[in-house]
Structures are given as structure tokens and as C-alpha cells.
Chain A
Amino acid sequence: MSRVAQFLFRRKGGKGWHWTDIVTWVWLVGGLFIMFGPAVWLVGSSFKSPAALAEFPPTILPYVTQKVTVEGFDKPLDLYEVTLPDGSKGKLAEVRRIGVVGQMINPSNPGKVIKVNISQRTPVRAMSFASGNYTEPFTHFDFVRYLWNSVFVTVVATLITLVVNSMAAFALSKYEFRGRTIAMLLILATLMVPLSVIMVPLYSIVSALGLFNNLWGVILPTVATPTGVFILRQYMLTIPDELVDAARMDKASEWQIYWRIILPLTAPALAVLAIFSVVWRWNDFLWPLIVLSRKELYTLQVGLSIYSGELNVQWHFILAMTVVTMIPVVLVFIFLQRFITTGIAGTGLK
């Protein structure tokens, strides 16, 4: 514990608080809450029952009021911790509430009704995880089907993204040709065109190609990304041209130079792009919603929208399924971040 405290309150130079220590501390702790708080709240809330979700003030962890079954009452009654007028404390069940007075009974002696001011009682609460939020959608919601669609779209789109973008980046970084800069700028310029602008023409193209209501209609329009080309090209520029020359002297074809020399050396940048692509495709909502209208083709994000109806939003299911859909993205990030940080130790060049 003392080591944790030592770590948390470590200061510049060891003695005294410099103002930068305070700024750093506030900045980092604030950042931790901003970044991590919503995720913790989401996970906590995903285990709450609908009633607990509607509670105010909200809690991070899922609490429910304990109930007791009392003889003579059909429904279980809420249990309260009560301070009686004589100062003694006890656990009583509430039969009904009239105004500010609750009519309580002792569960062990249900015959006698005790009237208690509601300010004198607090509900007895215990942590309870509503695992039904997770299990129920699997049974009455086609979760596995949607999961498969999402996985298929994400994996295939990411693989194609990596191949297509790295090929473009290879050409734009390792070949000298007229208009190379212009081509690069044009690709980057498409960053300024948002999806909503090209949605209608894109839809007519996809529709004309017969890809409407087809997972390929979700995959293909998204695979060429200016961001990906840019990331990979900038990385490839740092790979020495002498390696390409050496490979040419070694009788390697242009495809081999790309596939066997450049691509393996671009691994760190490819990992970054893979993370981006997985997150983008996994979280994509609007475009799949447009292209896919048959329920069995829905991806998870589109499928989840079933729970937010016009009149009734089933938050407990939405929250639980959001947690489930977050898991693959987190796993991908944990797995690939090693590649980003490691890079390739020693390039074999001076």
C-alpha cells in the first residue's frame, strides 16, 4: 500500500510540491476519470436491472433493494433499515406508503403494523449482478448471427484494407513517377469529404452492383482509406531505398519486393492501421444500416438498435450488449499494441 502511495504521490526532485507536480497530478487523474470513468460506469450499469438504471442519483455499481417474502403477502416486500422513535434500530419490510409515512411490519412478527416516517428509513441494499442482461439477448435475440456478420465484415474489410492501402502506399513511396505528389494530395483530399455527402451516390453504386443486402456491400466501399494510405506511405518512406535496390539486384520481382521486403518491414504501421480499421468497421453503424435491410444480415451495431424502439428503450440490454461488442476491440488493441511499441529492433542498416 505504501508503495502505491509512493507511486501516486511521487514528486519532481523528491521534496516539496512544485506547481508542475500538482498540474501533472490533476491532469493525469482527470484524464483517468474522463477516459476510464465512462467505461467503468458502462460495465457497472450493464449489470443493473431496469429499475436500478432509472434510479437517481445513479450508482457506479449495481445495487438492488433487498426484498423479503412475508406470510400473508403475495409479493415480496422491500426491506428497510429503520430507526424507531425509541431510538432502536431494526430491519422492517414496507407494506405500503402513505404520504411521508410508511407502514412497516417486522418480517418475523407480521401481525403488527409500525408507522415510520420515510426520513427515518433507508433501504437495505446489496450488490446484485443482473446477469440476465447478458444471457437473455443470446436466447431471444439473434446475437450469434449478428456477431458472425460483424466478425466477417470486420476481418475481411481489415484484411482488404491492409493489402489495398499498403499497395497504394508502396507505389506512392517507392516509385518515382510524374504526378506522384498530386496523386497523394488527391487521396488525402478525400478526407475532407464526409460519408453523409457521398452516401446517396455510394448507395446507387452499391445498388447497381447488386451488392444491396449483401455483406460485401458493407465491406467494399470502406476498404480504401486515405488515412491508411497516408500512415503506411509515411512509414514506408523511412524504409531505405537501398533495400529495394538490393532486392532488385537479387532478381526479385516488383511484387516480391512489395510482399517479401516492404510489407514485413511495415508491420508496425500495419498494426496501427489494423487497429483503426477494426475499430472503424466494428463500430460502423450508418452505412451497414443503409445497405443491410434483411435482419439476418445485420451487424451487431445495427442489431443492437432493435433495443431502442420508438417508445421503449431497453437500456439494460443495450448496455450489456455494448459491453460485449467492446470486448473484441479491446482484445485487438491489447494484442496489436505490442507491435506498435516494439517496431522492429535494429533495421540492419547503419
Chain B
Amino acid sequence: MGHIKLTNVAKSFGSVDVLHDINLEIADSEFVVFVGPSGCGKSTLLRMIAGLERPTSGELAIDGKVVNTVPAADRGLAMVFQSYALYPHMSVRQNLAFGLENTKMPKAEIAERIGEAARMLEIEPYLQRRPGQLSGGQRQRVAIGRAIVRRPVAFLLDEPLSNLDAELRGSTRAELAALHARLSATMIYVTHDQVEAMTLADRIVVLRAGRIEQIGTPLELYNSPANRFVAGFIGSPHMNFLEGTVESVQSSKAVVALTGGHRLEVPANGASIAKGARVTLGVRPQHISIGGDTHGIPAKIKLVEALGSETVLHTDVAGQKVLVVAPGQYDLMPGADIRLSLSTAPLHVFNEKGLRLGHTV
């Protein structure tokens, strides 16, 4: 069981409001990722669920029981910290045992649980070592092991992969996903890395400046971001934004004149879109194709990044930066003029407030 519900939760440190009116429900055995830029309050939210911070207002319930005043230790949760926070003066075994000893668990059971977790995480050879004698990846496993032996109702992970190198991060990410499938426990995972969020999450919670911007499955966020912030945050490289003005509106289509004069037809979806309104078009770099077509948008190449399987073009469209990710290899040089085609691209239209038109909340 690991059903967590937050109702109108807010947190302030002194006069600084860190979180505003957070409403969130996390189902049992769900993998939820909190993602957002640094300082958005995601770690504070996690620490509040953990019980290390008290919410200023609102209600926090675990399995239907309000736990606002329940101390961290009695919430039945386990946390993996960004720095791992392993006790440096204890061996790996003692690190794993510490939390269990504090619950007055019989020695035999402690040994059994440690054995099981060590097998699962393949840390058996290091049980007698100190954390200082382990590599980053091994410490990471021990930190996860310390959470596993507690058999918590939910795991809270605070940027657990941020201290690993890129290669190890990839493999550990896959292991975490496998671990989640195996334990089928609720996991709440905080990260600022949207790739981790996309690959691991059942649902992603995007936070900005202490507010939830959008909650949804990774593909929901990718395909229909609620606003410009989410659109820009999810996806790599991030979405291109082109400023423009609505020229005419028909029943299902609208014509937008981009800065620079080029006109584009965009789907209006019956949304409230008025003639003359300033809008922003969002298009993912992968959806732009390079076309010799004279209908394409004229662009000047600034930089070519050839990655082999794909080519990343940094281009300039009437003073706005546009990134293009084209599959395959191209013989293009910086300074060349090309035309970009958006004819097949899914276009996102954002109004002046940054909200996506046609998005149903």
C-alpha cells in the first residue's frame, strides 16, 4: 500500500513561499516523477512527503490517514538522498542495518533482509566495506539498498542519479525501472533531467516556481503540453518557439504571419483565437524537415552538428533561433541558406499568456 494524497498543500520558509496550493494524488505502486528547473520546489515537496519538512497549510495523507504531524520515521517511507547520505563511519552492512535496529527487529530477520537486498542489488562483496571505499555506482546501490530493507510503503528518491557519470546513469536508470517493476512499490522520484522523467515515469508532475504546471503521462506531456513552459521543458532538444500574429481565422484553420513575414496555416481546433492576436508557435526540432520547396521558411545555418545518425542544425529564422534535428547526414555548411518545411509537423499554438490553444485541462 502506498497511496499518497496532497490537498491544498503549501509551504513557506519565513516570508518566502516555496510551494503554492499543491493538489496531487499518487496511486499505489505508481512511479511518479517530479520534474522542474532548480528552485521550483520539487525537493521541498518530496521532503514534505517524507516528513522532513512540515507543510505550512494543507493536508497530506498516506493510505487515507492524515500524516501532517506524524514524524518522518513513522510514515513508513524510505528515502534515497542525492548525496546518498550513507553513514561514513559504518560498514555497508551497518548502514543497511541501522534503520532496522532502530525498530527493534530481531537480528535474524535483519540479516535475512540485508542478504536479500544485497543479492538483489549485487552488493554482497562490499558488505564489510565503508562507503568511502566504494565507487559512486556502488554507493548508489547501497543507498537504494538501505531503502529496500525497510520495506517501505513508498520510496522517495531525490535526484539519485545526478552524481553518476552519463554511462552509469543510463544503466542505473534501467535498473531502477526493473526494480520498480519487481517491488511494485510506490516510487516518487525527483529530477531536473527530463530524459529520466520520460523514461521512468508512469506519470510526470511538472513544477515551476512552486506550482504544478501539468500532470500527465510522459507522452501526454510530450504530445499535448498544457503551456509553453511544459512544452519547452519536455523533449530534447527543446521545442522551437516562433513568434507571430494571427492574420485570419476560419472554422478549423488560422493563418499566422511569423515575424519575418512568412505565413503558416495552423489548426485552430475551434479554440478561441482572434484575428490580430499575438501567438507563439511551438514546433519540435525533430518535426521540422529540410526542404528545397519554395514554400518553406527561409533560414540561415549557423552551426551544423553531425552526430552520424542525425544532424542537428542551428538556424536563424528572421532573428529567431530554430533548431532542426534531421535524420541522416547532410552536406551543409554554416552560412548556407536553406528552407524549412513545417507541413507535416504537429504545431502547438500558445496564446500571449503561454497557454496552449485547444488544450483541454
- Whether A344 and B88, one on each chain, are in contact in the complex, defined by CB atoms closer than 8 angstroms, is yes
- A246 interface hit (Cβ, 8 Å): yes
- Whether A347 and B132, one on each chain, are in contact in the complex, defined by CB atoms closer than 8 angstroms, is yes
Knowing A245-B79, A250-B98, A251-B99, say if A346 contacts B130 (CB, 8 Å): yes
- Whether A242 and B132, one on each chain, are in contact in the complex, defined by CB atoms closer than 8 angstroms, is no
- A140 interface hit (Cβ, 8 Å): no
- Whether B52 and A349, one on each chain, are in contact in the complex, defined by CB atoms closer than 8 angstroms, is no
From residue B317, how far is it (CB to closest CB) to chain A in Å?
42
Knowing A248-B52, A248-B73, A249-B77, say if A349 contacts B88 (CB, 8 Å): yes
- B222 interface hit (Cβ, 8 Å): no
Residues of B in contact (CB 8 Å), total 33
- B82 interface hit (Cβ, 8 Å): yes
- Whether A252 and B73, one on each chain, are in contact in the complex, defined by CB atoms closer than 8 angstroms, is yes
Which one of A251, A252, A346, A349 contacts B85 once the chains associate, using CB atoms below 8 Å? A349
- A264 interface hit (Cβ, 8 Å): yes
From residue B244, how far is it (CB to closest CB) to chain A in Å?
46
From residue B261, how far is it (CB to closest CB) to chain A in Å?
52
- Whether B103 and A349, one on each chain, are in contact in the complex, defined by CB atoms closer than 8 angstroms, is no
Q: Which residue in chain A gives the minimum CB-CB distance to B71? A: A248
- Whether A348 and B103, one on each chain, are in contact in the complex, defined by CB atoms closer than 8 angstroms, is no
- A265 interface hit (Cβ, 8 Å): yes
- Whether B83 and A349, one on each chain, are in contact in the complex, defined by CB atoms closer than 8 angstroms, is yes
Interface centre among A243, A248, A348 (most CB of B within 10 A): A348
- Whether A350 and B83, one on each chain, are in contact in the complex, defined by CB atoms closer than 8 angstroms, is yes
- Whether A265 and B102, one on each chain, are in contact in the complex, defined by CB atoms closer than 8 angstroms, is no
- B72 interface hit (Cβ, 8 Å): yes
Knowing A240-B83, A246-B79, say if A346 contacts B133 (CB, 8 Å): yes
Knowing A249-B77, A249-B79, say if A348 contacts B52 (CB, 8 Å): no
Q: Which residue in chain B gives the minimum CB-CB distance to A345? A: B132
Residues of A in contact (CB 8 Å), total 24
From residue B144, how far is it (CB to closest CB) to chain A in Å?
13
Residues of A within 8 A of B72 (CB): 245, 248-249
Residues of B within 8 A of A135 (CB): none
Knowing A264-B89, A344-B88, A346-B131, say if A252 contacts B98 (CB, 8 Å): yes
Residues of A within 8 A of B74 (CB): 251
Q: Which residue in chain A gives the minimum CB-CB distance to B73? A: A251
- B37 interface hit (Cβ, 8 Å): no
- Whether A245 and B132, one on each chain, are in contact in the complex, defined by CB atoms closer than 8 angstroms, is no
Residues of B within 8 A of A346 (CB): 88, 130-133
- B84 interface hit (Cβ, 8 Å): yes
- Whether B84 and A252, one on each chain, are in contact in the complex, defined by CB atoms closer than 8 angstroms, is no
Nearest 10 A-B pairs (CB), nearest first?
A346-B132, A348-B131, A250-B99, A348-B88, A251-B73, A246-B85, A242-B85, A251-B102, A348-B86, A264-B89
Residues of B within 8 A of A (CB): 47, 50-52, 71-74, 77-79, 81-89, 98-99, 102-103, 130-133, 136, 139, 146, 150, 163
18 contacts between A and B (CB under 8 A): A242-B82, A242-B83, A245-B52, A245-B72, A246-B87, A247-B87, A248-B52, A249-B52, A249-B73, A250-B98, A250-B146, A251-B73, A261-B87, A264-B89, A348-B86, A348-B139, A349-B88, A350-B163
